[in-house]
């Protein structure tokens, strides 16, 4: 693997463009996005449906390939790398927390947490794993399978996986989308802890409450970053979303 | 823990979540492995051809005439002779002079049957007469009396003596070579551990009875003290070339007719059937895997997102399958032992194979079966699991998407190749000699089915689009979703379609190709001969006296013995190789003889002595004309130079070469004809001829008289045996494919639990979901039947064309039974799986993990 910079931003996008489909019917998802996510930052990405926020996350994580521009993940340019190389890179440095479908149904909690390490052929540090499990509050559940856990508990397993692997970056896609308010707050609290412990967090969400846990919020409209908001409060985020929504409505009306 | 072990552990852990699919693979490999081991047993049996000698048990080395015909064009290939090939009497002295030989005991067999008051005692085993010398080969030992010393004396085996109710000193009637029974004095009674009758005559008289003058049938060799049988056999083979030297269980082939001849059919049987099983297994395993891989897209994508490389995902799916396949194959070892023995006892029990043949199932069968099953499972799983490796981590983030029906380019190319091969095989069949056509066209059903399996998803989508409106009209409201599903779930549906298509194609292709061919063969034989009555001897032979008696019956015009055998034209060589031409031995010098084939040139009147009547087609091929001399190699390996005295019209695909009965008969195992064909004089009523012949032969022990149908029947009997093998194969292949169809169908339905849950939440009743599934099943069944029937035509039509019948012939019930079987598989299995799939409440089904 090429040398990587230990300082600076673990995730960097440079003029990234991405279009789905071709020709007239093509939909521009990202229209030249340049952004950096500094180490230890917790960033929320927001925007109306179809604004390209999920595509931004996918491209940043190397799950999808941009048409133009470059993506640098933990100092490695993703261009030209094949699936296996990308996988190994992600396995080493990246964790995911999705809205659902986070866990392998056949494996128990502990196996799910250690899976990336096992796949990489590393022996997990048992004491550390126990500590992580303790921290997300699943000590009583290590032997259970995902089917026997609640939605909140399943998300906590996913976060424990990010913690256990000491990933540099955690990408979260609507992590609280399927959870009730109390559980959602618990999960967000854990993500916040993760960031405080030095991990970089990139979270796509439409929930102003979730966004308020972040250090900064990026607002995306039509594949472009239109606003950045530092130290966001729930009301400010909600107001900005409402404003962007109204703008979009107006724009559609003009057409 | 190494990543490999993690992958394996994960594979094991997820097995329980895929019970239905695992069971499907397990059963497919279990049954497939069993059948392969059974095939391996047949193959091994064919290789060793072991049969324990009974009457020759005491002789450590047995020598017979030449083992087979060394083909002029391929000297390395030796084709066993169809008739027993004897040892020239002159070579006996040579045998005796080989160092280490203590004694050479020659044996000659001839037809001899004890005739009691109620008729012949053992009409089914007439070849029981021997000289007393050969009693040492068993050995038979006298339990009473003395050995036969003079003419008119006989020693009976215990069972025959008991059945005839005679003792030493008594008299017993014996018909030798079909002559009227003569009284013999029982000189003694002998015992040996054998089955079957044995009648021993004095040496002088036995020589007189021999029907193969100048040769002995075989010789038993006793080594001198301390000489090893194997070493001696090798020495004999070296010093007296041209003979067949046998030891151990190989000696059985000298005693029992048909052992050597069983080799090729057995190898073909094992090969064709084994190939079929391999294809079915490969298709089923890959169908099951593609089904589960598609159903697990999201899980696999998640695994990729969690850090598994494409190779690791591929390996996990492969490992899951191989763990199950290994268990299946292990249990299959037990099943193979059982099924192999069953198939073998069925074939020997029905006369397809000589009953003395010993079934061998050893390392070749078990090892080969195991390795082949696991190998083909691995190969099938490896390819079928490739889409798993292509699962993209991004898919983990979205709802499971249904894969498009389009197959990739490699698959489409493969489908084209296999379709092309199918057409080539069908076309090639047209140019093959009819006899070997079946071996060529048989694989067409397999290649055709593979082509369908590869292109299946697109085919399914096409049908749903093209015939959707029609199905909707027929099926009503519930058909709407069924049609949409058939199109959008084309990949899963195609997995079920494959075994149905395969079963149909194999069943119809095998059975109708066989019946069509048999029809043509029997027709060709029967058309060649015309007889108003057929006299069959009960004593293994018809004597000239019986022929005379029949000839003198009122209204009889022409009488001919019927001898059938097989042989080659050696010079100029006809190139028939392992499939020698059919020979008919007849006496058709009369103007109005029993040969129905028109003579195009020459005259049958001259067909006597060293002459032959050749079908025109063969003569043309070999550039022969009337009056030419050709060298023929007859069924016992004898070479005869014959002059062509007549050319015969040969319209059928199965022309027979006609030789004088007197020339051909000595070159058959029994040495004499066993049947007489009778034609009435001009204007005679056939029934009157039959009754006249019946009364003329009333005094002949065991002789039976049949009408003209008996000609066909005598050929049909042997044709039936071949047909039965094909039926057996077809039934087993269908049963296997049917199990596969049940498997994939159940997996396909059970994997849709969540979908049914959603549907029911949206307001569908259980019954509506079920009838939707039934319509889907109906579409599958009809499509499978249509495709299977279409594929089978690539086998059946060329066979019909090349055998000259043009239109396939066979019982309609087979077709109807296949249709019924397909629906009987599809509908009940669908109904049952649907019931299982909808057992939980809809909401539970929707939130079920791992879906």
Q: Does B754 touch chain A (CB under 8 A)?
A: no
Looking at per-residue confidence, does B80 or B169 come out higher?
B169
Is B257's pLDDT higher than 60?
A: yes
Query: Count of A–B CB contacts within 8 Å?
Result: 88
Q: Does B397 touch chain A (CB under 8 A)?
A: yes
Chain A positions in Cβ-Cβ contact with residue B6 (cut-off 8 Å): 115, 118-119, 121
Contact check, Cβ <8 Å, A83/B306? no
Q: Which of A57, A61, A66, A87 to mutate to test the interface with B (most CBs of B within 10 A)?
A: A87
Residues of A with CB under 8 A from a CB of B: 54, 58, 63-64, 83-84, 87-88, 90-91, 96, 98-99, 101-107, 111, 115-116, 118-121, 123, 145-147, 161, 173
Of B2, B305, B394, the CB nearest to A121: B2
Percent of chain B with pLDDT over 90: 22
Q: Give the model's pLDDT for residue B632.
A: 93
Provide the mean pLDDT of chain B.
Answer: 85
**Nearest chain B CA: its distance from A92 CA (Å):** 8
pLDDT band with cut points at 50, 70 and 90 for residue B197: confident
Decide if A236 contacts A211 (C-beta within 8 A).
Answer: no
- pLDDT tens digit string along A140-188? 988 888 888 888 888 889 888 888 888 899 999 888 887 888 888 988 9
- Of all residues in chain A, the one with the smallest CA distance to B298 is A101
Closest CA to B502 of B328, B775, B287: B287
Is B270's pLDDT higher than 60?
A: yes
Contact check, Cβ <8 Å, A147/B396? no
pTM confidence score: 0.80
**Mean pLDDT, range A44-70, rounded to an integer:** 89
Chain B positions in Cβ-Cβ contact with residue A53 (cut-off 8 Å): none
Q: Does B306 touch chain A (CB under 8 A)?
A: yes
Q: Does B401 touch chain A (CB under 8 A)?
A: no
Percent of chain B with pLDDT over 70: 95
Is A2's pLDDT higher than 50?
A: no
Q: Give the model's pLDDT for residue A101.
A: 65
Of A54, A116, A123, the CB nearest to B306: A116
Q: Could you give phi then psi for residue A238, rounded to 5 degrees? A: -60, -40
pLDDT band with cut points at 50, 70 and 90 for residue B280: confident
- Of all residues in chain A, the one with the smallest CA distance to B391 is A83
- pLDDT tens digit string along B388-412? 888 778 766 655 555 666 777 888 9
DSSP symbols for B402-467: PPPSPPPHHHHHHHHHHHHHHHHHHHHHHTS-HHHHHHHHTHHHHHHHHHHHHHHHHHHHHHHHHH
Is B325's pLDDT higher than 50?
A: yes
For chain B, helix, strand, coil in percent to 5 are 55, 15, 30
Give CA–CA dist B14/B8, Å, rounded.
Answer: 10
Chain A positions in Cβ-Cβ contact with residue B312 (cut-off 8 Å): 119
**Nearest chain B CA: its distance from A255 CA (Å):** 31
Decide if B101 contacts B163 (C-beta within 8 A).
Answer: no
**Mean pLDDT, range A185-198, rounded to an integer:** 89
Chain A positions in Cβ-Cβ contact with residue B849 (cut-off 8 Å): 105, 145-147
Contact check, Cβ <8 Å, B305/A105? no
Is the complex ipTM more than 0.85?
no
Give CA–CA dist B771/B482, Å, rounded.
Answer: 9
Of A58, A87, A147, the CB nearest to B308: A87
Contact check, Cβ <8 Å, B307/A123? no
**Mean pLDDT, range A75-80, rounded to an integer:** 89
Give CA–CA dist B256/B354, Å, rounded.
Answer: 8
pLDDT band with cut points at 50, 70 and 90 for residue B523: confident
Contact check, Cβ <8 Å, B306/A115? yes
**Nearest chain B CA: its distance from A245 CA (Å):** 24
**Mean pLDDT, range B285-309, rounded to an integer:** 82
**Mean pLDDT, range B795-811, rounded to an integer:** 81
Give CA–CA dist B349/B720, Å, rounded.
Answer: 14
Sign of dihedral through CA atoms A138, A144, A146, A147? Answer: negative
Give the least confident one: B452-456, B459-463, B490-494.
B490-494
Give CA–CA dist B849/A138, Å, rounded.
Answer: 20
Chain B positions in Cβ-Cβ contact with residue A120 (cut-off 8 Å): 3, 307
- Of all residues in chain B, the one with the smallest CA distance to A147 is B849
**Nearest chain B CA: its distance from A253 CA (Å):** 31
Instruction: Return the exposure string of B198-224: e unless at least 16 CB atoms fall within 10 Å of the residue's CB, then b.
Output: bbbbbbebbeebbbbeebbbbbbbbbe
Q: Give the model's pLDDT for residue A41.
A: 92
Chain B positions in Cβ-Cβ contact with residue A81 (cut-off 8 Å): none
Provide the mean pLDDT of chain A.
Answer: 86
**Nearest chain A CA: its distance from B280 CA (Å):** 30
- pLDDT tens digit string along B667-683? 988 888 888 999 888 87
Percent of chain A with pLDDT over 70: 95
Contact check, Cβ <8 Å, A119/B397? no
Looking at per-residue confidence, does B291 or B419 come out higher?
B419
Contact check, Cβ <8 Å, B397/A98? yes
Q: Which of A64, A118, A148, A157 to mutate to test the interface with B (most CBs of B within 10 A)?
A: A118
Is A4's pLDDT higher than 50?
A: no
Contact check, Cβ <8 Å, A63/B393? yes
- pLDDT tens digit string along A205-226? 989 999 999 999 999 988 889 8
For chain A, helix, strand, coil in percent to 5 are 40, 25, 35
- pLDDT tens digit string along B455-472? 988 898 888 888 888 888
């Amino acid at each position: 693997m090429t040398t990587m910079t230990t300082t600076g931003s673990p995730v960097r996008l440079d003029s990234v463009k991405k279009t789905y489909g071709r020709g007239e019917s093509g939909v521009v998802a990202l229209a030249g996005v340049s952004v950096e996510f500094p180490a230890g930052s917790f960033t929320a990405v927001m925007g109306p449906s179809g604004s390209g926020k999920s595509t931004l996350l996918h491209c940043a994580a190397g799950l999808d390939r941009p048409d133009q521009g470059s993506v640098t993940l933990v100092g490695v340019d993703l261009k030209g790398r094949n699936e296996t190389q990308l996988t190994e890179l992600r396995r080493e440095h990246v964790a995911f927390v999705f809205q659902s479908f986070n866990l392998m149904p056949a494996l128990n909690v502990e196996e799910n947490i250690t899976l990336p390490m096992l796949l990489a052929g590393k022996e997990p540090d048992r004491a550390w794993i126990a500590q992580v499990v303790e921290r997300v509050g699943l000590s009583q559940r290590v032997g259970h399978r995902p089917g026997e856990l609640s939605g909140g508990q399943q998300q906590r397993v996913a976060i424990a996986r990010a913690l256990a692997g000491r990933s540099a970056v955690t990408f979260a896609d609507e992590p609280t989308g399927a959870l009730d308010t109390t559980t959602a707050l618990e999960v967000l609290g854990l993500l916040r802890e993760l960031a405080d412990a030095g991990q970089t967090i990139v979270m796509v969400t439409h929930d102003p409450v979730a966004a308020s846990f972040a250090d900064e919020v990026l607002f995306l409209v039509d594949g472009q970053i239109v606003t950045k908001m530092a130290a966001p409060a729930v009301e400010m985020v909600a107001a900005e979303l409402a404003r962007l929504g109204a703008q979009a409505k107006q724009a559609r009306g003009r057409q | 823990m190494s990543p490999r072990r993690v992958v394996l552990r994960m594979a094991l852990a997820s097995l329980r979540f895929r019970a239905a699919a695992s069971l499907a693979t397990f059963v497919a490999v279990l049954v497939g492995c069993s059948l392969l081991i059974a095939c391996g047993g047949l193959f091994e049996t064919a290789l060793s051809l072991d049969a324990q000698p009974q009457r020759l048990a005491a002789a450590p080395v047995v020598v017979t005439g030449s083992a087979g015909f060394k083909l002029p064009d391929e000297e390395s290939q030796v084709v066993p002779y169809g008739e027993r090939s004897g040892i020239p009497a002159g070579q006996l002295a040579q045998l005796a002079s080989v160092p280490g030989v203590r004694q050479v005991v020659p044996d000659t067999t001839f037809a001899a049957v004890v005739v009691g008051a109620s008729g012949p005692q053992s009409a089914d085993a007439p070849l029981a007469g021997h000289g007393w010398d050969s009693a040492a080969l068993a050995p038979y030992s006298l339990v009473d009396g003395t050995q036969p010393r003079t003419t008119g004396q006989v020693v009976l085996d215990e069972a025959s003596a008991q059945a005839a109710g005679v003792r030493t000193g008594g008299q017993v009637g014996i018909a030798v070579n079909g002559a009227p029974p003569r009284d013999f004095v029982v000189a003694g009674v002998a015992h040996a551990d054998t089955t079957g009758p044995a009648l021993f005559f004095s040496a002088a008289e036995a020589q007189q009875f021999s029907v193969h003058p100048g040769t002995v049938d075989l010789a038993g060799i006793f080594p001198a003290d301390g000489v090893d049988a194997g070493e001696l056999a090798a020495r004999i083979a070296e010093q007296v070339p041209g003979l067949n030297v046998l030891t151990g269980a190989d000696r059985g082939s000298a005693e029992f007719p048909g052992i050597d001849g069983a080799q090729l059919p057995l190898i073909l049987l094992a090969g064709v059937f084994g190939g079929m099983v391999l294809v079915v297994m490969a298709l089923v395993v890959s169908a099951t895997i593609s089904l589960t891989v598609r159903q697990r897209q999201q899980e696999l994508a998640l695994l990729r997102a969690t850090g598994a490389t494409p190779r690791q995902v591929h390996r996990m799916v492969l490992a899951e399958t191989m763990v199950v396949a290994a268990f299946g194959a292990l249990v299959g070892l037990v099943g193979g032992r059982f099924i192999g023995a069953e198939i073998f006892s069925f074939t020997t029990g029905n006369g397809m194979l000589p009953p003395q043949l010993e079934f061998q199932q050893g390392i070749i069968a078990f090892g080969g079966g195991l390795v082949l099953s696991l190998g083909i499972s691995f190969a099938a799983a490896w390819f079928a699991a490739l889409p798993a490796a292509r699962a993209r981590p991004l898919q983990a983030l979205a709802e499971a998407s249904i894969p498009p029906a389009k197959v990739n380019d490699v698959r489409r190319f493969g489908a084209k190749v296999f379709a092309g091969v199918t057409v080539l095989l069908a076309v090639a069949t047209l140019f093959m000699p009819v006899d070997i056509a079946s071996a060529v066209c048989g694989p067409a059903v397999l290649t055709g089915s593979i082509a369908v399996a590869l292109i299946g998803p697109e085919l399914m989508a096409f049908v749903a689009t093209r015939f959707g409106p029609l199905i909707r009209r027929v099926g009503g409201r519930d058909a709407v979703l069924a049609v949409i599903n058939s199109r959008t779930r084309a990949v899963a549906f195609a997995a079920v379609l494959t075994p149905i298509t395969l079963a149909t194609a194999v069943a119809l292709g095998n059975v109708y190709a066989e019946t069509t061919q048999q029809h043509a063969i029997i027709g060709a034989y029967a058309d060649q001969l015309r007889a108003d009555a057929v006299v069959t001897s009960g004593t293994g032979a018809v004597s000239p006296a019986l022929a005379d008696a029949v000839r003198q019956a009122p209204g009889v015009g022409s009488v001919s013995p019927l001898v059938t055998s097989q042989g080659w034209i050696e010079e100029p060589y006809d190139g028939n190789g392992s499939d020698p031409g059919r020979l008919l031995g007849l006496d058709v010098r009369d103007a109005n003889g029993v040969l129905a084939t028109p003579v195009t040139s020459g005259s049958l009147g001259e067909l006597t002595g060293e002459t032959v009547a050749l079908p025109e087609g063969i003569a043309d091929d070999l550039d022969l004309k009337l009056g030419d001399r050709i060298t023929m190699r007859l069924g016992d390996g004898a070479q005869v130079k014959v002059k062509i005295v007549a050319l015969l019209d040969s319209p059928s695909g199965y022309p027979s070469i006609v030789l004088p009965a007197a020339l051909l008969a000595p070159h058959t195992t029994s040495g004499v004809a066993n049947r007489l064909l009778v034609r009435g004089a001009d204007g005679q009523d056939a029934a009157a001829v039959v009754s006249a012949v019946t009364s003329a032969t009333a005094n002949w022990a065991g002789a039976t008289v049949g009408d003209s149908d008996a000609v066909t029947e005598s050929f049909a009997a042997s044709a039936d045996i071949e047909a039965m093998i094909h039926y057996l194969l077809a039934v087993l292949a269908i049963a296997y494919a049917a199990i596969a169809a049940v498997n994939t169908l159940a997996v396909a339905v059970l994997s849709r639990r969540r979908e049914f849950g959603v549907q029911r939440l949206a307001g569908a009743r259980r019954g509506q979901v079920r009838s939707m599934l039934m319509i889907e099943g109906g579409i599958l069944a009809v499509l499978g039947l249509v495709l299977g029937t279409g594929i089978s035509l690539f086998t059946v039509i060329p066979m019909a064309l090349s055998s000259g019948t043009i239109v396939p012939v066979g019982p309609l019930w087979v077709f109807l039974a296949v249709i019924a079987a397909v629906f009987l598989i599809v509908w009940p299995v669908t109904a049952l799986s649907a019931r299982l799939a909808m057992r939980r409440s809809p909401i539970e089904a929707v939130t079920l993990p791992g879906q």
